[in-house]
């Protein structure tokens, strides 16, 4: 993963000026759906829906909660993206993946 993240995506160059079939909204919906499937937020939503009979209120509450959590991340990410180069971000991410990979190879988790 560390090496793979250092290889530039073809879409990185196209994203700046080109348009895609579903656009940024559709891409975000699909990426978010795939990333969030089966996570703790979805499990909490299932538990709330099982506990409270008003499904609309549960949907609205979980949607608002996710927006409150993610809107600041979007704005912060936008500000950071304007100030930090993507090769630097990729380099830092690669270093983190490599570090975690080495820790995994040495089975460091067993020490805790």
What is the chain's pLDDT, residue by residue, as a tens digit (112 residues)? 888 888 877 665 555 555 567 788 898 888 888 888 888 888 999 999 999 999 999 999 999 999 999 999 999 989 988 999 888 989 999 999 999 999 999 988 887 7
Give the list of residues 6+ apart from residue 22 with CB closer than 8 angstroms, or none: 29, 30
Contact, 75 vs 81, CB < 8 A? no
What's the pLDDT at 19?
Answer: 59
CA distances from 61 to 35, 45, 66, 67, 68 (A): 20, 9, 9, 10, 10
Angle among Cα 12, 7, 85 to the nearest 5 degrees reads: 55
What's the pLDDT at 6?
Answer: 86
Q: DSSP readout, 19-58?
A: --SSHHHHHHHHHHHHHHTTSHHHHHHHHHHHH-S-HHHH
What's the pLDDT at 28?
Answer: 87
Model pTM?
Answer: 0.57
How far apart, in whole angstroms, are the C-alpha atoms of residue 26 and residue 29?
Answer: 5
């Amino acid at each position: 993963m560390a090496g793979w993240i250092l290889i530039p995506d073809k879409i990185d160059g196209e994203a700046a000026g080109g348009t895609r079939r579903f656009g940024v909204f559709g891409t975000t919906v699909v990426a978010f759906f795939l990333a969030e499937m089966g996570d703790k937020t979805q499990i909490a939503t299932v538990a709330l829906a099982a506990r409270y009979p008003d499904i609309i209120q549960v949907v609205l509450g979980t949607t608002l909660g996710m927006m409150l959590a993610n809107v600041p991340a979007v704005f912060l990410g936008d500000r950071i993206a304007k100030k930090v180069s993507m090769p630097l971000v990729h380099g830092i991410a690669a270093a983190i993946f490599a570090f975690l990979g080495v820790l995994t190879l040495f089975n460091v988790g067993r020490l805790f």
